[in-house]
Chains A and B, each alone.
Chain A
């Protein structure tokens, strides 16, 4: 098993990531370390010139993940928590549902827990205080219950619908 780079090497080490659509991204070692998955992978390979393949993550999504990680690495001891939170909010403010979901899946795979939380909280906030019909419209979800099933579900959740 390859040794982890010492601090000097870590500072100079660049990690290459290959997206699903074969685009190569180069990131600082510290940025890659934000991902537990990459951390574990690099513990085995050491600092390598070979790009780590991320088969299920598109370049568009990977770019967003890297943007998030780079900001948070740089902000670590220099920017206030409040400003970091504001930055996070701006990042997700106008993101469409599809991008948010894809980011959750990517962040879960890469084990970047803060990013998973951020994306999930954002979507959860869009779910709260909405009716069933509104949720179907916002998330483009088809009602695939049979009439009997839907009646049963409504009955089970009557306590939540009734005011």
Chain B
């Protein structure tokens, strides 16, 4: 069944609760755990919750206190899969692992109260980079000469450009084929 995503995004006074911009404003006040649960409610909520800007705030809110400079890292993280990926694949598991000895701490509390150390953040970023490098597959292999491996700069910049053009995943999504049965793959 085809869905008119552009119509969905547009504000409609009879369907205010489905207004994605309004949802996005609300989701800015959610922690990671609540955001993840919210993404399971419906397609609109999923799209609103997948906005990588939301996850950037969740990931970086304590970085300045840890002495980590966000500015330059932001475009690198965007190229390598985005902040949601960074959080779900690396930051959250790292934090869960390091708090494993505290049997009173559950996943939800970790999301609400965590302040990552600089080491944890750097490790997560490194792991994200390694994962990205592995995904490049043939490009990465072809660029490796002897002891040095270089990833083609135009390829990296092209990926960055794709993501930067529309601001964030959500907006890019709306421009793509909305009837594509595999629309969710865009957010993977």
Contacts and interface: CB of A to CB of B under 8 A. Distances in A.
Interface in A32-88: 56, 58
Nearest to B183: A149
A102 interface: yes
A141 B42 contact: yes
Interface size class of B (residues with CB under 8 A): 35 or more
A162 B184 contact: no
Residue among B32, B36, B40, B106 with max Cβ neighbours from chain A (10 Å): B40
Chain A interface helix/strand/loop/mixed: helix
Interface string A144-163: 11000110111011011111
Interface of B: 11, 13, 16-19, 21-22, 25-34, 36-46, 88, 92-93, 106-108, 111, 184, 188
Nearest to A149: B184
Chain B interface helix/strand/loop/mixed: helix
Contact of B46 (A153, A160, A163): A153
Interface size class of A (residues with CB under 8 A): 35 or more
Interface of A: 56, 58, 97-98, 101-102, 104-105, 108, 116, 120-121, 123-124, 127-132, 135-136, 139-145, 149-150, 152-154, 156-157, 159-163
